[in-house]
């Protein structure tokens, strides 16, 4: 579910510019009355429940003039708009994409609430316990003794005043005021020191990250140390590898040509191993010619002598053929020897030109030129990463605030320890609000100046209908309600909240508190100074910090449980500046992929917002 727009008319404390506010996914911060915004969203989500009477302003006119509307994109893929008259009925409208307009579909408040919950709106219990953060729920804002909601009105009367007692009370109040101012100054110094400590820790943490990058780059470079040393012998490795590639290409081309010429001269006729007189045709011709000649000389067949001419001619012809074959064989032999010499020269030239590169390949443990080129690229990349990491570390060391940061952190921690001791001793302790003390001192001064007087009438007390406060202490109540709504036991809920608690609680408490625990009776305890302390025994500021941490952690679980939206008011105003900065960053992180709407004018949250209005 995603809220798109909210509008209001005549609603007390809620006066957005032009009557409406637009929302987008992410962390939305809206300037104005956050409590009114939270109540308006609740009234529009839960149409089956009566609206908060605080929303209706006195004298605002007819009830129909007090209304609010909410547009949302539901999980069901439908865009809904609910319009509610806070003094009467309500209406649910559905967006028609074809007509590009909203059409009314329901006017029954109960059925409207069911449709909205099916579209992703949270139940009233989940909205109150998990998906909303109200300033009134913080321990420091709750009335003592569970009497929240009781209003006593005393009719005008006079009582007998004791000037001497009033003077003593006035002196005590003035002393308490000085005490409160001292405590407030100490708390201000504590907040400043904690903020400085947080910045120092962030700075040192960033330094550790820089050192870790250097160590990782050095480890990566060590894997290529042998290869880089071998490549360094080439002088200009890139140029030498390119020359080696060209030499290899020339060798391959020369060997290819030699092989082609050898294939071409295969099958050339050769004289064989026999001599001329071993040639049958030659010997036969000579023999026939000799016989014919002898027969013509020594017999009467003189004509046979003429046969010696063609016979000897045939022998001459066979001799010429043999000579031709002998010449071709000799030429082929010379050609073969020339090709062998050419092949040998090509190989020798390649070996001379690539000897250095092949030596580097053997030293680097690679077998091919492609592997050596890949090794060169990875070694250069590792060297560049190392140079970049070392440059970053040098720059970090050169920063003025980095020098002596560790010593300064120790000094700030000692200062915080001293301030904590002063706050928990007689200088600090429990003190009332300065403004309330000043009001009491002004009243006592008026009593002392007025002197004694007699009563004029009986006192009359009118009590409004009391609103019962939540059962038990605020932190335990939050744990019980939120864990039950998420379907978990308090112990299981704490285990689910553990990562966020361990991140936020030490930071927001100035390292005084570290973790939460639940005992066998369900009582919430906090780890402080290495021991478990019941949260009910903590001071009000510490309980506020614990409440904020638990509320943000439960809010994260609620957003992760479904596509819903969280609404916050000015609840975190009770926390110091450093804590609010941390929470602003966490809220922006939690809103990624979801939606958080925060009604506050605090500039710290507005700076961290994805969308500020």
Q: Which of 439, 463, 487 is the last residue of a domain?
A: 463
Distance CA 451, CA 164 (A): 10
**415/494 same-domain check:** no
Number of domains in the chain: 4
The predicted pLDDT at position 587 comes to: 94
**154 assigned to some structural domain:** no
**277/355 same-domain check:** yes
**308 assigned to some structural domain:** yes
Structure tokens at 104: 């009314």
* CB neighbour list of residue 425: distance below 8 Å, 6 or more residues apart: none
Q: What is the dihedral of CA 205, 210, 214, 219, to 10 degrees?
A: 50
**245/234 same-domain check:** yes
**38/73 same-domain check:** yes
pLDDT of 559-579, one tens digit each?
A: 987 778 999 998 898 898 989
The predicted pLDDT at position 429 comes to: 43
Q: Is the model's pLDDT at 75 over the cut of 70?
A: yes
What is the pLDDT of the chain when averaged over all its residues?
A: 79
The percentage of the chain sitting over the pLDDT mark of 70, rounded to a whole number, equals 82
**pLDDT-based confidence at residue 268 (cuts at 50, 70, 90):** low
**DSSP secondary structure, 515-534, as one string:** EEEE-TT--EEEEETTEEEE
Do residues 594 and 34 make contact, with C-beta atoms less than 8 angstroms apart? no
The percentage of the chain sitting over the pLDDT mark of 90, rounded to a whole number, equals 17
**393 assigned to some structural domain:** no
CA angle 460, 464, 466 (to 5 degrees): 125
**140 assigned to some structural domain:** no
Report the residue count for the chain.
613
CB burial of 486-502 (b: ≥16 within 10 Å; e: otherwise) equals: bebebeebbebbeebbe
Report, as an integer, the average pLDDT of 465-487. 72
**pLDDT-based confidence at residue 309 (cuts at 50, 70, 90):** confident
**pLDDT-based confidence at residue 92 (cuts at 50, 70, 90):** very high
**325 assigned to some structural domain:** yes
**378/299 same-domain check:** yes
Report, as an integer, the average pLDDT of 75-100. 86
Helical (H) or strand (E) element with 85? strand 79-85
Report, as an integer, the average pLDDT of 212-224. 83
Do residues 609 and 588 make contact, with C-beta atoms less than 8 angstroms apart? yes
What CATH number does the domain containing 493 carry?
3.40.50.300
**423 assigned to some structural domain:** yes
**249/312 same-domain check:** yes
**435/323 same-domain check:** no
Q: Where is average pLDDT lowest: 354-368, 411-425, 490-504? A: 411-425
Highest mean pLDDT (candidates 217-231, 234-248, 310-324, 536-550): 536-550
**114/29 same-domain check:** yes
Q: What are phi and psi of 531, to 5 degrees?
A: -135, 160
Cα dist from 263 to 113, 170, 257, 272, 346, whole Å: 93, 123, 10, 20, 19
**15/87 same-domain check:** yes
**7/116 same-domain check:** yes
Distance CA 509, CA 504 (A): 8
* 390 burial via Cβ count (<10 Å: 0-12, 13-18, 19+): middle
Report, as an integer, the average pLDDT of 581-603. 91
Neighbour order of strands in the sheet with 26-30: 132-133, 565-568, 595-599, 26-30, 611-612
**pLDDT-based confidence at residue 547 (cuts at 50, 70, 90):** very high
pTM of the entire predicted model: 0.49
Distance CA 2, CA 591 (A): 12
Q: Is the model's pLDDT at 182 over the cut of 90?
A: no
**378/241 same-domain check:** yes
**158 assigned to some structural domain:** no
Distance CA 544, CA 441 (A): 28
Residue 8: count other Cβ atoms within 10 Å of its Cβ: 24
Q: Is the model's pLDDT at 456 over the cut of 50?
A: no
**381/232 same-domain check:** yes
Q: Is the model's pLDDT at 185 over the cut of 90?
A: no
**pLDDT-based confidence at residue 281 (cuts at 50, 70, 90):** confident
Q: Is the model's pLDDT at 58 over the cut of 60?
A: no
Range of the domain at 89: 1-121+564-613
**pLDDT-based confidence at residue 437 (cuts at 50, 70, 90):** low
**pLDDT-based confidence at residue 446 (cuts at 50, 70, 90):** confident
Report, as an integer, the average pLDDT of 384-404. 76
The predicted pLDDT at position 113 comes to: 92
Distance CA 476, CA 1 (A): 30
Nearest to 575 by CA among 544, 601, 546, 534: 544
Distance CA 202, CA 213 (A): 17
Distance CA 524, CA 537 (A): 11
Q: What is the dihedral of CA 211, 214, 216, 217, to 10 degrees?
A: 170
Do residues 493 and 482 make contact, with C-beta atoms less than 8 angstroms apart? yes
**130 assigned to some structural domain:** no
Bridge-based pairing state of the strands 26-30 and 595-599: parallel
The predicted pLDDT at position 556 comes to: 92
Q: Is the model's pLDDT at 148 over the cut of 50?
A: no
More confident call, 3 vs 312: 3
Cα dist from 480 to 129, 131, 467, whole Å: 9, 15, 20
């Amino acid at each position: 579910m995603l809220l798109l727009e909210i509008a209001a008319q005549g609603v007390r404390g809620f006066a957005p510019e032009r009557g409406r506010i637009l929302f987008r996914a992410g962390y939305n911060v809206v300037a104005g009355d956050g409590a009114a915004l939270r109540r308006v969203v609740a009234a529009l989500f839960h149409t089956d429940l009566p609206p908060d009477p605080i929303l209706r302003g006195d004298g605002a006119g007819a009830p129909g003039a007090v209304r609010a509307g909410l547009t949302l994109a539901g999980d069901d893929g439908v865009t809904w708009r609910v319009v509610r008259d806070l003094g009467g009925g309500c209406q649910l409208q559905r967006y028609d994409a074809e007509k590009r307009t909203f059409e009314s579909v329901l006017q029954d408040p109960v059925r409207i609430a069911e449709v909205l919950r099916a579209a992703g709106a949270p139940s009233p219990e989940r909205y109150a316990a998990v998906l909303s953060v109200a300033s009134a729920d913080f321990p420091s804002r709750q009335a003592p003794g569970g009497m929240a909601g009781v209003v006593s009105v005393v009719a005008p009367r006079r009582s007998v005043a004791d000037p001497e007692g009033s003077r003593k009370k006035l002196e005590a109040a003035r002393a308490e005021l000085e005490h409160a101012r001292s405590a407030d100054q100490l708390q201000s110094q504590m907040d400043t020191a904690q903020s400085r400590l947080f910045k120092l820790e962030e700075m040192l943490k960033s330094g550790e990250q820089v050192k870790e990058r250097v160590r990782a780059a050095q480890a990566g470079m060590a894997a290529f140390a042998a290869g880089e040393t071998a490549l360094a012998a080439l002088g200009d490795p890139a140029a030498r590898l390119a020359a080696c590639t060209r030499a290899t290409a020339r060798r391959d081309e020369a060997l290819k040509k030699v092989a082609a010429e050898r294939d071409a001269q295969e099958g050339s006729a050769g004289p064989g191993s026999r001599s001329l007189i071993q040639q049958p045709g030659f010997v036969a011709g000579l023999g026939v010619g000799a016989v014919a000649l002898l027969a013509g000389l020594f017999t009467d067949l003189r004509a046979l002598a003429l046969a010696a001419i063609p016979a000897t001619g045939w022998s001459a012809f066979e001799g010429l053929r043999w000579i031709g074959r002998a010449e071709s064989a000799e030429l082929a032999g010379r050609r073969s020897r020339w090709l062998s010499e050419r092949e040998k020269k090509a190989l020798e030239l390649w070996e001379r030109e690539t000897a250095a590169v092949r030596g580097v390949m053997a030293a680097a443990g690679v077998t091919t030129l492609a592997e050596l080129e890949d090794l060169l690229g990875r070694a250069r990349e590792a060297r560049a990463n190392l140079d970049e990491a070392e440059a970053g570390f040098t720059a970090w060391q050169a920063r003025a605030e980095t020098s002596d940061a560790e010593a300064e952190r120790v000094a700030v921690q000692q200062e915080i320890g001293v301030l904590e001791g002063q706050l928990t001793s007689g200088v600090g302790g429990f003190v009332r609000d300065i403004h309330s003390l000043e009001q009491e001192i002004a009243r006592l001064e008026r009593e002392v100046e007025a002197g004694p007087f007699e009563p004029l009438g009986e006192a009359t007390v009118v009590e409004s209908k009391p609103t019962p406060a939540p059962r038990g202490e605020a932190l335990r109540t939050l744990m019980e309600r939120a864990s039950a709504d998420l379907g978990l036991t308090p112990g299981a809920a704490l285990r689910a909240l553990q990562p966020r608690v361990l991140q936020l609680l030490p930071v927001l408490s100035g390292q005084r508190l570290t973790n939460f625990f639940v005992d066998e009776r369900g009582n919430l305890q906090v780890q402080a100074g290495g021991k478990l302390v019941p949260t009910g025994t903590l001071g009000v500021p510490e309980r506020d910090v614990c409440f904020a941490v638990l509320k943000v952690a439960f809010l994260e679980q609620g957003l992760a449980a479904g596509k819903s939206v969280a609404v916050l008011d000015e609840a975190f105003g009770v926390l110091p500046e450093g804590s609010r900065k941390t929470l602003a960053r966490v809220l922006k992180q939690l809103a990624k992929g979801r939606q958080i709407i925060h009604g506050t004018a605090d500039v710290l949250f507005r700076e961290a917002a994805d969308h500020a209005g």
